[in-house]
């Protein structure tokens, strides 16, 4: 109980600082997820009907996700130096697979008959894609985006080890001062705000999904 009270003291003592770091963390995550979404959806649309590209892109992005985060962060340091850049590059690679995979499976799940009738109505390939296939696959693509966003928020806490910003700074400063006053409060701040940020962003994506889903698709 004392712990909780002193934690509240800790965060109420420095709300601006914590919000600023949360915002940094959110910026990293959003940049990465938006970039990964653009890349993966384009690649997914391109790869869906090309078996070789599809198999290759899915297994390569799968391999990225297997490589431990600190290792992937570290590999970029000789190339781009320390800071947020190596972390964001690595996070971008992690965020690809969920979106790519769901784009491909989402497009797969569009009933061929619907596409046929669109074609019969004289729609061009592009309008079929934008008016029929992507809108129908959208809920599945969005599910992938939300998974990517959750994963990215969690892993971005490690960015501090390679000189990045974000909520990981609270965890690290807690570790370096462990045993001293406020050290655990600092770690808890990092953990709790990271999870909360993940949930908030998920809510943002859910709202975005509601707004962008076509009427007939809404439950």
Partner 1 sequence: MTAATGAQGRIGYEGQDADNPELQEGHRPATGGPSHEASWLRRARANHLGLKLAPVGIALLALVVYLYYQSLGLNDAVIQLRSSLEWGTKLWPQTLQHLQIAFWSTLLVVVVAIPLGIMLTRPPLRRYGPAIVAVANSGQALPAYGLLILFLSLLGQGKWTVIWALTLYALLPVLRNTMVGLDGVDRNIIEAGRGMGLTRMQALTKIELPLAVPVILAGVRVAMILNIGMATLAFLIGGGGLGVTINSGLKLQQDPVLIIGAALVAIVALTFDWIGALAETYLRPKGV
- Positions touching partner 1 (CB under 8 A) are 48-49, 51-52, 55, 58-59, 62-63, 65-72, 74-75, 77-78, 97-98, 101-102, 105-106, 108-109, 140, 143-144, 147, 150-151, 153-155, 157-158, 161-162, 167-168, 171, 174-175, 178, 184, 187-188, 190-191, 194-195, 197-199, 202
Q: Which residues touch 127 (CB under 8 Å, ≥6 apart)?
A: 118
Instruction: State which residue, 89 or 143, has the beta carbon closest to partner 1.
Output: 143
Instruction: State which residue, 109 or 124, has the beta carbon closest to partner 1.
Output: 109
CA–CA dist 212, 116 (Å, integer): 24
Distance of closest approach, residue 46 Cβ to partner 1, in angstroms: 14
Distance of closest approach, residue 106 Cβ to partner 1, in angstroms: 7
- Name the token pair of 42: 């384009």
Which run of H or E residues covers position 162?
Answer: none
Distance of closest approach, residue 11 Cβ to partner 1, in angstroms: 15
Instruction: State which residue, 118 or 160, has the beta carbon closest to partner 1.
Output: 160
- Name the token pair of 216: 């007939």
Comparing CA positions, the residue from 102, 104, 106, 201 lying closest to residue 149 is: 201
Comparing CA positions, the residue from 153, 5, 160, 179 lying closest to residue 82 is: 160
């Amino acid at each position: 109980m004392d712990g909780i009270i002193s934690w509240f003291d800790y965060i109420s003592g420095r709300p601006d600082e914590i919000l600023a770091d949360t915002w940094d963390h959110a910026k990293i995550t959003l940049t990465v997820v938006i970039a990964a979404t653009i890349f993966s959806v384009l690649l997914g649309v391109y790869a869906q009907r090309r078996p070789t590209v599809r198999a290759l892109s899915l297994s390569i992005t799968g391999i990225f996700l297997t490589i431990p985060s600190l290792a992937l962060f570290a590999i970029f340091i000789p190339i781009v130096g320390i800071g947020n850049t190596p972390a964001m590059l690595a996070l971008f690679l992690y965020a690809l697979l969920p979106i790519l995979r769901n784009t491909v499976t989402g497009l797969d799940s569009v009933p061929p008959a619907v596409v046929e009738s669109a074609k019969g109505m004289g729609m061009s390939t592009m309008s079929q894609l934008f008016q029929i296939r992507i809108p129908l696959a959208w809920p599945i693509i969005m599910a992938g985006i939300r998974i990517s966003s959750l994963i990215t928020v969690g892993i971005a806490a490690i960015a501090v080890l390679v000189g990045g910003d974000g909520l990981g700074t609270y965890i690290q400063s807690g570790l370096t001062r462990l045993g001293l006053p406020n050290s655990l409060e600092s770690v808890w701040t990092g953990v709790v705000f990271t999870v909360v940020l993940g949930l908030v962003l998920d809510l943002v994506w859910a709202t975005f999904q509601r707004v962008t889903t076509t009427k007939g698709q809404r439950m």
